[in-house]
């Protein structure tokens, strides 16, 4: 993990309020953006994810693109490949999902 990323991770682990705010902001991002962020956190390239999914890299790029309205099944499948889940979280309990 690089310096800034490491610093942010330390802040989120030690500051509960910052972690809650981070979770709220992350939850508001488009699913395609969340997927791209989580793929990078897993240190996986688009090409690497494409290989896991047995698709071409441009398919992964389209799935992560905000200009392309990806099918939810494509996002769920890609999320599973990077060991993540797609879920709906009620507004009243979002604070419980702080990083």
Q: Which two tokens stand for residue 40?
A: 């990078």
Tens of pLDDT, residue by residue over 8-44, are 888 889 998 888 888 888 888 999 999 999 999 899 9
Q: What is the pLDDT of residue 71?
A: 92
Cα 49–chain centre separation: 13
- Nearest 5 degrees, angle CA 66-CA 70-CA 73? 140
- How far is residue 72 from each of residues 21, 37, 77, 82, measured CA to CA in Å? 26, 17, 8, 15
The pTM score is 0.80
Tens of pLDDT, residue by residue over 46-96, are 999 999 999 999 999 999 999 999 999 999 999 999 999 998 888 888 767
């Amino acid at each position: 993990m690089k310096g800034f990323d490491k610093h942010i991770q330390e802040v989120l682990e030690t500051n509960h309020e910052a972690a809650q705010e981070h979770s709220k902001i992350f939850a508001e991002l488009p699913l395609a953006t969340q997927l791209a962020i989580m793929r990078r956190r897993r240190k996986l390239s688009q090409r690497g994810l494409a290989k896991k999914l047995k698709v071409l890299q441009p398919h992964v790029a389209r799935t992560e693109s905000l200009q392309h309205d990806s099918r939810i099944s494509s996002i769920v499948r890609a999320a599973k490949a990077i060991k993540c889940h797609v879920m709906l979280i009620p507004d009243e309990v979002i604070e419980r999902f702080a990083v």
